[in-house]
Amino acid sequence: MGNPPATASPGAMIDAASIDAVLERLRWRVLDFADYSLVPGMTRADPGRGIRFHYVASGTVAISCAGGAIELRAGDFVLLARGDATLRADGPTRLVSGSLHLELESGVALGLMPAVLFACGFRTHEPAFASLLETLHREADGERAGRESVARRIADLVASAALRVWFERGCGDPRAWLIGLRDPNLGRAIDAMHADPGGRWTVEALARLARASRSQFAEQFRRSVGETPARYLTRLRMERAERMLRAGVSVTEAAAALGYDSDEGFSRAFRRHAGAPPSLWRATA
């Protein structure tokens, strides 16, 4: 007799509902599109028009950008939200690339998007959406009636799928995006914390960004987010710390970047969050 079906936890169901709500509100438009090949050692500048995407159809490419340096292999997909980038092929490489515009009434969601949104193994996890990129190229270069409408819808699907993978892996908080989309004033405060988690944020400073009094902001934040601004900021810092430690950043560098005056203070906060000091956590992560 088989095992009973697994039941999703309340947190997972809430996150799934939040992801659905966020993706429902986002619309993407294609600005340009290209399919090109790079020979080994060849570099290509990515000047930063709109939100750029690169899908590695074959080969390997290294990207240097504002979010750091990453290596993409065949089947990987990346969204570059802002800043210039440089691409360098490590071998014969074919890329499907383009620029997107995120159609929003405010820039809050764009501000919450990281400089680099990397979906490793996109072709493996989302094979149907990866194949749509090939269709997008044919539609963008073709002459068939309705090609712009079809290309726009395909881009919307592919970008939404990549964002879903990013959320599902815990790299972003869909609830923060949803709050920002529903309430731009509150979203500005959340955006600021995500942009600079190491900043010396106080409730007063965040309230000014939200155009509210201290008490109004604190109550509105708690009601909308489900925790106080201080607890939200601490959780954001610790989640960022986990990614930094996995990337090889030292405890001292992570502490300084995240606004802690000492390694000891950072280590105490991290231990409360993860149940282990940062050095031990990194060794077992």
Closest listed residue to residue 83, CA positions, set 111, 47, 40: 47
Q: 159 Cβ partners below 8 Å, 6+ apart?
A: 26, 28, 53, 79, 100
Decide if 57 contacts 36 (C-beta within 8 A).
Answer: no
Which of 115-119, 141-145, 269-273 reaches the highest mean pLDDT? 269-273
Residue in the block written with tokens 């159809």? 57
Per-residue model confidence as pLDDT tens digits over 248-263: 889 999 999 999 999 9
In the sheet with 43-46, reading across from the earlier edge strand, the strands are 43-46, 85-89, 60-65, 68-73
Instruction: Domain ranges for the chain, please list them.
Output: 17-171, 183-284
b/e per residue 127-153 (b: at least 16 CB within 10 A): eebbebbeebbebbeeeeeeeeebbbb
Cα-flanking dihedrals φ and ψ of residue 247, to 5°?
-80, 0
Quote the CA–CA distance of 76 and 58 in Å, as a whole number.
9
Question: Does residue 89 or residue 104 have the better pLDDT?
Answer: 89
State residue 188's pLDDT score: 85
37 pLDDT exceeds 60?
A: yes
Tokens for 45, please give them: 């500048």
- Identity (one letter) of the amino acid at 251? V
State residue 110's pLDDT score: 63
In this chain, the answer to whether the domains covering 17-171 and 183-284 adopt an identical fold is no
18 pLDDT exceeds 90?
A: no
SS3 category, 40: coil
Quote the CA–CA distance of 138 and 125 in Å, as a whole number.
23
Per-residue model confidence as pLDDT tens digits over 101-136: 887 655 556 666 777 777 777 888 888 888 887 777
Quote the CA–CA distance of 11 and 175 in Å, as a whole number.
11
State residue 10's pLDDT score: 38
Quote the CA–CA distance of 130 and 136 in Å, as a whole number.
10
Per-residue model confidence as pLDDT tens digits over 174-218: 877 777 777 888 888 988 888 889 999 999 999 999 999 999 999
Q: Which CATH class is domain 17-171?
A: mainly beta
Domain 183-284 part of CATH 1.10.10.60 = yes
b/e per residue 48-74 (b: at least 16 CB within 10 A): bebbbbbbbbebbbebebebeebebee
